[in-house]
Amino acid sequence: MRVDGREQQQLRTIHIDTNYLKHPEGSVLISVGDTKVICTASVEDRVPPFMRGEGKGWITAEYSMLPRATEQRNIRESARGKISGRTMEIQRLIGRSLRAVVDLESIGEKTIWIDCDVIQADGGTRTASITGAFVAMTQAFAKLYEQKAIKKFPITDYLAATSVGILKDIGAVLDLNYAEDSKAEVDMNVVMTGNGEFVELQGTGEEATFSSDQLNELLAAAKGGLMQLFELQKSVLDEKIIELIEGNGKKEEAE
Amino acid sequence: MRVDGREQQQLRTIHIDTNYLKHPEGSVLISVGDTKVICTASVEDRVPPFMRGEGKGWITAEYSMLPRATEQRNIRESARGKISGRTMEIQRLIGRSLRAVVDLESIGEKTIWIDCDVIQADGGTRTASITGAFVAMTQAFAKLYEQKAIKKFPITDYLAATSVGILKDIGAVLDLNYAEDSKAEVDMNVVMTGNGEFVELQGTGEEATFSSDQLNELLAAAKGGLMQLFELQKSVLDEKIIELIEGNGKKEEAE
Amino acid sequence: MRVDGREQQQLRTIHIDTNYLKHPEGSVLISVGDTKVICTASVEDRVPPFMRGEGKGWITAEYSMLPRATEQRNIRESARGKISGRTMEIQRLIGRSLRAVVDLESIGEKTIWIDCDVIQADGGTRTASITGAFVAMTQAFAKLYEQKAIKKFPITDYLAATSVGILKDIGAVLDLNYAEDSKAEVDMNVVMTGNGEFVELQGTGEEATFSSDQLNELLAAAKGGLMQLFELQKSVLDEKIIELIEGNGKKEEAE
Amino acid sequence: MRVDGREQQQLRTIHIDTNYLKHPEGSVLISVGDTKVICTASVEDRVPPFMRGEGKGWITAEYSMLPRATEQRNIRESARGKISGRTMEIQRLIGRSLRAVVDLESIGEKTIWIDCDVIQADGGTRTASITGAFVAMTQAFAKLYEQKAIKKFPITDYLAATSVGILKDIGAVLDLNYAEDSKAEVDMNVVMTGNGEFVELQGTGEEATFSSDQLNELLAAAKGGLMQLFELQKSVLDEKIIELIEGNGKKEEAE
Amino acid sequence: MRVDGREQQQLRTIHIDTNYLKHPEGSVLISVGDTKVICTASVEDRVPPFMRGEGKGWITAEYSMLPRATEQRNIRESARGKISGRTMEIQRLIGRSLRAVVDLESIGEKTIWIDCDVIQADGGTRTASITGAFVAMTQAFAKLYEQKAIKKFPITDYLAATSVGILKDIGAVLDLNYAEDSKAEVDMNVVMTGNGEFVELQGTGEEATFSSDQLNELLAAAKGGLMQLFELQKSVLDEKIIELIEGNGKKEEAE
Amino acid sequence: MRVDGREQQQLRTIHIDTNYLKHPEGSVLISVGDTKVICTASVEDRVPPFMRGEGKGWITAEYSMLPRATEQRNIRESARGKISGRTMEIQRLIGRSLRAVVDLESIGEKTIWIDCDVIQADGGTRTASITGAFVAMTQAFAKLYEQKAIKKFPITDYLAATSVGILKDIGAVLDLNYAEDSKAEVDMNVVMTGNGEFVELQGTGEEATFSSDQLNELLAAAKGGLMQLFELQKSVLDEKIIELIEGNGKKEEAE
């Protein structure tokens, strides 16, 4: 049995509060157990210098934690004057993942800034960020689409992420909390689209290794959790948006 | 009449949610109208190098805004690699203000880190931070006192802050929102203790000046608002804590 | 009696040497007792990016101390790689104060850079900087006006600053030196225009508080000192410049 | 057929020149096709602050490219004043991978600094770095073991890395060069131990996704290449070192 | 006798491997004894902002050492976040020296970036960098000249550098290795053109001084070594390039 | 004739005002024509980490210019967040030069911080800094010697610096002002001790070269100027200090 009483394949309780803030084009507060992240999507009417003139858009993400999101207070990265390697890895992962389900050509030279700010951390902050940011981004695109600032709704599929890992006496478990994460021998983050394809797969033996069989077990557990996350995302999105996304998905398959 | 329909001397609607987060020793979410700030208090068992060996404690504050707390997205200070002058001014102000109502000798060589993170901004973020941080700090000290980690409850009075300003066609107004703040000719932040004494007074003619009479009008408006804020603070604090604070206040007066 | 033998309401000996340096458009060495500051005004033919195209000018200030301006040598901010919060606060205050007496519209898209470099520090460096910078700036505008680079002389009133504070056994005192400043319970900087209006008021209880009565006493002391500083400024300015400033002042009142 | 005429499952020509430099405890020049990396291992007699007193060692890696290792010259990270997210990701990956085959307890409070400096880049610099760094690290430990500075030879298995990817008209390919890497739809880095277990698995759909079947194809290709890399590593290591590594491996299995 | 058995006036064994790397327009690996430096020349089709519109080119140099080029590992300057004074001095020296033998007018608005990366250090890295960079730069210009990207071959003379110094019991010596350099009382770097004129002369008494006679002795030793370095440079350059350089030299003399 | 009417071998008018500031152990304002530098010497009772435990002292220098010391205002290095290569070169030169005439063993583990702040620049700021800093440092040591904080007076000779250069139509000139410096073909800084020995010799052909004959002419001109500078230094030093320096010099010669 797990520390918090869950089954091996059981997700924590998850909520997504939409339109959480007043100013951003899209914003949610996602809670995955005690992990809480504010995800916002902001639209800027230009792209970074390296992309100008190509006529396509860009999605970029930033990630941060409040200093006391964690058990011990962390020094702010602004006070340190630099961003840690961990933060950079995470924000690159979030941006790359979201870009996989967006047709960047169809939004023109716009940048969508995704901000994921962890208010409270209890493991899985990067996967919660991706799952929440997908919803915030979707709402920002819905707003642009409604205002006719974009002609085509650009999202082609759902996108969510979760973690899986191997615990010594338990085996493969889904959606690790912080206590589990710090003891796990293998830790894997899986980002998947609604149709069950992988976008990112990052598995790490923490001073340990894992076999092909263990890999398969982990992937199966992840897939089970992700399917529930897609259902949750649908439950907070407008019917109209769901139709647009699923319509895009079918077109893609047909091609 | 004011843009949001308030009277000249009327505060916005204010809420203080206590114990907002799981990890910090004290934490609140304060809303002053649409301005929302998470204030946390973290206890560290040592003081900064310049104070070691003196046997007394320290209170220091950090302030930040989520990038999309505002109408336009701001670049993160961690991404810029440096903290702006405005941020520094605000965090110095918060720390200095809180230290005015704490008997630093009585807490020993501990640092209380105050973090004020603005989730949503609509004017008055620095004064909301002070009013909220006072409550978070009080709860952290209550926890230390309960655990007998400090012998004496160190807070000697209530502490709150508000803004006042002069608007062209209206005159002196209390608790400016962002729309008012950007048009005000004079802008003043007042930090006060429960017994009506000033801790900080920062008045600025924004490319304008103000007379002694205007100053007096502003101070009267501020005092009115602050008295309501002290009542609000008391309404969210434990009876026992209120007794301790007021007991300390009486001792001080007696001296 | 005060440590240096002055009366409570007495300023230190003050000198302003004008045209102190060869290159800047305006430059003074101001001494306020043992505090010595070089203030220069430099004209640049453009404004910062956020102001371009508005047709109005800008005044910005930088402040620094030589490493050994003080009793103990300080590490240079260039060596640290960042500017302290204190420096930022001071340079923002100087710039904001000077802008209050300049008609920015009338100078076109020019920036006046004010540099205040403290050669020797003995308390009151920020107020000495403002009082001296006003003269350096005036001379720079006089040069531009003479060269017909600006059509209207833009300064609308005198501007000076001083400090006041409360000392334990003495009460309210004017123009604190370093020894007094470090012991003062309350410390207040007052920036005023020649017609007796406030531009900035920054009062701080240093781990202490102050009452309304004390505030009034401090403001009276400040006003007395400032009136002497305006006289000193006039004594080092050309007759012609004095006429231009006072002419502008009368026009303003008439409006 | 691939751009350079290789079969889908064919590695590029690989050389490892050992003892490449005079000063480091271990050093190699590894060439994987036109990719050339200098890998060094340096021994320091202490561990980072967060590990002191635990009696175990640490392995940390740094990665850099000469500015003109690439087709276009890159700005040096020292000139930029900060390290890019890509560099941070790579050096964290190298360090984590190497630690998976070292018994850190057995080396005491020592840090092994791994430096991977890319002299010439043509794709696969991070995997070449891991494969080369393993040999440099092994030689450094061999030196310590010979000098009796460590009692037990700490390496428990071989470690190598390679990349696999999916090219549009070709399918799964092994060991991508730069031209292939920039066109690949899916890109995966696999770090493996000599006994065929995974240490790291990082698969990314580059604005694309991949299925479970594709994943299996990629993993099979990677495994084939990695087995050849282990043989190459053995061919440049001393007979004695090979015995020590394989002895450790057998002991581990027995446990 | 010297530590490595050389005569006082004897250079170490020197090799210049040309076309060392695939991407840069010019690249060499120069070895001076155990000192090894990769020198590359990269062509960029624009000049720094301060030179735009003048129609002439620029040559700039950067210098770095691999962390373990030395006996003790050094922290990377990218990790420190800033470039040391020593590095800045050296890269300014390299750039200035090379510019002395190039007709910058004749290359148009191009920048030649010289990168000198020390792979292994044993004294004299800055002089080896200059001697090697001259050859890399020459090859880059040869490529531009061949491609008709420049009309005139811009190099007007050979350029090389060496060090001389005074050792306590030996006297003036040529081409100091690290062991000698750290004990030398006087240390001088001499940069000279093929016709025997000085470009740079940097002599330093290391907590010591030197007389006019000693200066003359050092300069004579340097000249002897430099003449051999020019011969070595010629031996690795194309006959055609040699003719172009020497033709330019004669034209200059005739003027 | 030179732009300012001087003879080729003529120094500008030079003044050294001693005890210029109140706080530092030694301080001067040196003027060399229109170049004005404040040089201070501060004593710290410890040495940098790399020297601890050796029982000897250290002398280190910092150099800076006020932003408007020059014709055009320069951005402060503190605002840029980094120190330029030129500044680093100059401060390393000043420190190294001063250390050549001080017996560091005799002062114990103390650091002398030399600060050279250029108030007004008109060429030759680095040589004026050295000449002035020598006097400031001497006064700081005199104070330590008087207080018996050091047993032996540590200065072994005078130290001064000047510049020489070659101007197109004039030839070798002494002590270049800014107008001359910017046109000079060759520029050389010479640091010398009172007994006529070189400490530093830095000659640079500014996109030009110079012959041995020109070198000799430059050195003769420099020596002539330096002898006058030593006389000036003596004229502002106490008789007692002069005796101590010259006594040390004789002892050294005798050894």
User: What are the tens digits of pLDDT across the range B147-197?
Assistant: 999 999 999 999 999 999 999 889 999 999 999 999 999 999 999 999 999
- Whether B122 is in a domain gets the answer yes
User: How distant is the Cα of F217 from the closest Cα of chain E, in angstroms?
Assistant: 13
Question: What single letter denotes the amino acid at residue E140?
Answer: A
Q: Which chains touch D (3 or more CB pairs under 8 A)?
A: A, E
Task: Look at B201 and C219 and tell me if their CB atoms are within 8 Å.
Answer: no
Task: Look at F199 and E209 and tell me if their CB atoms are within 8 Å.
Answer: yes
Query: Do the annotations mark residue C86 as ligand-binding?
Result: yes
What is the reported pLDDT for B253?
77
Mean pLDDT of chain B: 96
Best A78, A88, A91 residue to mutate vs chain B (most B CBs within 10 Å): A78
Q: What gap in Å lies between CA E33 and CA E120, rounded to an integer?
A: 10
Cα dist. E225→C230, D171, F188, F232, F240 in Å?
A: 71, 59, 23, 41, 48
Q: What is the DSSP letter of A81?
A: T
Residue with tokens 């670049």: B75
Task: Look at D197 and A205 and tell me if their CB atoms are within 8 Å.
Answer: yes
Compare CB distances from F100 to E100, E200, E207 and report the shortest one's residue.
E207
Do the Cβ atoms of D78 and E84 come closer than 8 Å? no
F-chain residues within 8 Å CB-CB of E84? 88
- Whether E193 is in a domain gets the answer yes
Kindly tell me if the per-residue pLDDT of E255 is higher than 80.
no
C-chain residues within 8 Å CB-CB of B99? 207
B-chain residues within 8 Å CB-CB of C205? 100, 197-200
Provide the strand spans (E) within A80-158.
111-120
**E212 CB within 8 Å of a chain F CB:** yes
What is the reported pLDDT for E219?
97
Residue with tokens 């003529």: F10
Which 3 state secondary structure label does DSSP give A172? strand
The mean pLDDT of F5-22, rounded to a whole number, is 97
What is the reported pLDDT for B20?
97
The mean pLDDT of A208-233, rounded to a whole number, is 96
The mean pLDDT of E178-193, rounded to a whole number, is 96
The ipTM value here is 0.94
Best B68, B114, B117 residue to mutate vs chain A (most A CBs within 10 Å): B68
Q: Are β-strands C58-65 and C111-120 bridged in parallel, bridged antiparallel, or unpaired?
A: parallel
Q: Searching chain E, which residue's CA lies closest to the CA of residue F206?
A: E100
Give the model's confidence band at E1: pLDDT under 50 very low, under 70 low, under 90 confident, else very high: confident
Tokens of C202: 């920054």
Is the Cα dihedral B95, B198, B191, B153 positive or negative? positive
C-chain residues within 8 Å CB-CB of F83? 78-79
Give the model's confidence band at F176: pLDDT under 50 very low, under 70 low, under 90 confident, else very high: very high
Give the model's confidence band at B199: pLDDT under 50 very low, under 70 low, under 90 confident, else very high: very high
Give the model's confidence band at B6: pLDDT under 50 very low, under 70 low, under 90 confident, else very high: very high
Q: Which chains touch F (3 or more CB pairs under 8 A)?
A: C, E
Task: Look at B198 and C219 and tell me if their CB atoms are within 8 Å.
Answer: no
The mean pLDDT of D225-244, rounded to a whole number, is 97
- Whether E8 is in a domain gets the answer no
CA–CA–CA angle C112, C116, C117 (5° rounding): 140
Q: Which chains touch C (3 or more CB pairs under 8 A)?
A: B, F
What is the reported pLDDT for E195?
94
Give the model's confidence band at F74: pLDDT under 50 very low, under 70 low, under 90 confident, else very high: very high
Specify which residues B54 forms β-bridges with: none
**E168 CB within 8 Å of a chain D CB:** no
Q: In terms of DSSP H, where are the helices of chain D? A: 77-80, 85-99, 125-146, 178-183, 212-236, 239-254
Q: What gap in Å lies between CA F133 and CA F127, rounded to an integer?
A: 10
The mean pLDDT of B81-101, rounded to a whole number, is 94
Number of other residues whose CB lies within 10 A of the CB of residue B169 = 5
Task: Look at D193 and A209 and tell me if their CB atoms are within 8 Å.
Answer: yes
Kind and range of the H or E run holding B89? helix B85-99
The mean pLDDT of F208-218, rounded to a whole number, is 95
What is the reported pLDDT for D208?
86
Residue with the larger pLDDT of the pair B207 and F243? F243
Task: Look at A85 and D91 and tell me if their CB atoms are within 8 Å.
Answer: yes
Task: Look at D199 and A215 and tell me if their CB atoms are within 8 Å.
Answer: no
B-chain residues within 8 Å CB-CB of C82? 82
**F208 CB within 8 Å of a chain E CB:** yes
Kind and range of the H or E run holding C43? strand C35-44
We report the CATH number of the domain holding residue A42 as: 3.30.230.70
DSSP chain F: --TTS--TTPPPPEEEEES-SSSSSEEEEEEETTEEEEEEEEEESS--GGGTTS---EEEEEEEE-TTSSSSPPPPHHHHTS--HHHHHHHHHHHHHHHTTB-GGGG-S-EEEEEEEEEE-SS-HHHHHHHHHHHHHHHHHHHHHHTTSSSS--B-S-EEEEEEEEETTTEEEES--HHHHHH-SEEEEEEEETTS-EEEEEEEESSS-B-HHHHHHHHHHHHHHHHHHHHHHHHHS-HHHHHHHHHHHHHHHH-
Q: Which residues 184-203 of F are in CB contact (within 8 Å) with C?
A: none
List, as residue ranges, the binding site of D for phosphate: 86, 124-126
Q: Which residues 30-89 of E are in CB contact (within 8 Å) with F?
A: 82-86, 88-89
Tokens of C170: 């003495």
Residue D179's φ and ψ, nearest 5 degrees, are -65, -40
SS (H, E, C) C126-187: HHHHHHHHHHHHHHHHHHHHHCCCCCCCCECCCEEEEEEEEECCCEEEECCCHHHHHHCCEE
Using a 10 angstrom Cβ sphere, with 0-12 exposed, 13-18 middle and 19 or more buried, the burial of residue F85 is middle
User: What are the tens digits of pLDDT across the range F27-54?
Assistant: 999 999 999 999 999 999 999 999 999 9
- Whether C1 is in a domain gets the answer no
What's the CA dihedral at F66, F67, F70, F72 to 10 degrees?
180
What is the reported pLDDT for E249?
86
pTM of the model: 0.91
User: What are the tens digits of pLDDT across the range E10-32?
Assistant: 999 999 999 999 999 999 999 99
Kindly tell me if the per-residue pLDDT of D255 is higher than 80.
no
- Whether F243 is in a domain gets the answer yes
Q: Could you give the percent of chain B with pLDDT greater than 90?
A: 93
- Whether C215 is in a domain gets the answer yes
What is the reported pLDDT for D62?
98
User: How distant is the Cα of C146 from the closest Cα of chain B, in angstroms?
Assistant: 26
Q: Searching chain A, which residue's CA lies closest to the CA of residue B21?
A: A120
CA–CA–CA angle F250, F254, F255 (5° rounding): 120
User: What are the tens digits of pLDDT across the range A16-70?
Assistant: 999 999 999 999 999 999 999 999 999 999 999 999 999 999 999 999 999 999 9
Task: Look at D201 and A201 and tell me if their CB atoms are within 8 Å.
Answer: yes
What is the reported pLDDT for B38?
98
- Whether E216 is in a domain gets the answer yes
User: How distant is the Cα of E200 from the closest Cα of chain D, in angstroms?
Assistant: 25
Q: Searching chain F, which residue's CA lies closest to the CA of residue E100?
A: F207
- Whether B92 is in a domain gets the answer yes
What is the reported pLDDT for A244?
96
User: What are the tens digits of pLDDT across the range D77-111?
Assistant: 999 888 999 999 999 999 999 999 999 999 999 99
**C253 CB within 8 Å of a chain B CB:** no
Compare CB distances from D203 to A104, A200, A209 and report the shortest one's residue.
A200
List, as residue ranges, the binding site of F for phosphate: 86, 124-126
Q: Which of B141, B184, B175, B190 is nearest to B24 (CA)?
A: B141
**D107 CB within 8 Å of a chain E CB:** no
Task: Look at C210 and B203 and tell me if their CB atoms are within 8 Å.
Answer: no
Q: Which of A64, A250, A28, A69 is nearest to A160 (CA)?
A: A28
Residue with the larger pLDDT of the pair D249 and C27? C27
Using a 10 angstrom Cβ sphere, with 0-12 exposed, 13-18 middle and 19 or more buried, the burial of residue A180 is buried
Residue numbers of the domain that contains E224: 14-70+84-253
What is the reported pLDDT for C254?
80
Do the Cβ atoms of C191 and C124 come closer than 8 Å? no
Kindly tell me if the per-residue pLDDT of D253 is higher than 80.
no
B-chain residues within 8 Å CB-CB of C210? 197-198
Q: What gap in Å lies between CA A187 and CA A209, rounded to an integer?
A: 10
Task: Look at B119 and A21 and tell me if their CB atoms are within 8 Å.
Answer: yes
Q: How many domains does chain A have?
A: 1
Do the Cβ atoms of D62 and D114 come closer than 8 Å? yes
From first to last of its 255 residues, chain C has per-residue pLDDT tens of: 899 999 999 999 999 999 999 999 999 999 999 999 999 999 999 999 999 999 999 999 999 999 999 999 999 999 988 899 999 999 999 999 999 999 999 999 999 999 999 999 999 999 999 999 999 999 999 999 999 999 999 999 999 999 999 998 899 999 999 999 999 999 999 999 999 999 999 999 977 899 999 999 999 999 999 999 999 999 999 999 999 999 998 887 787
Give the model's confidence band at B92: pLDDT under 50 very low, under 70 low, under 90 confident, else very high: very high
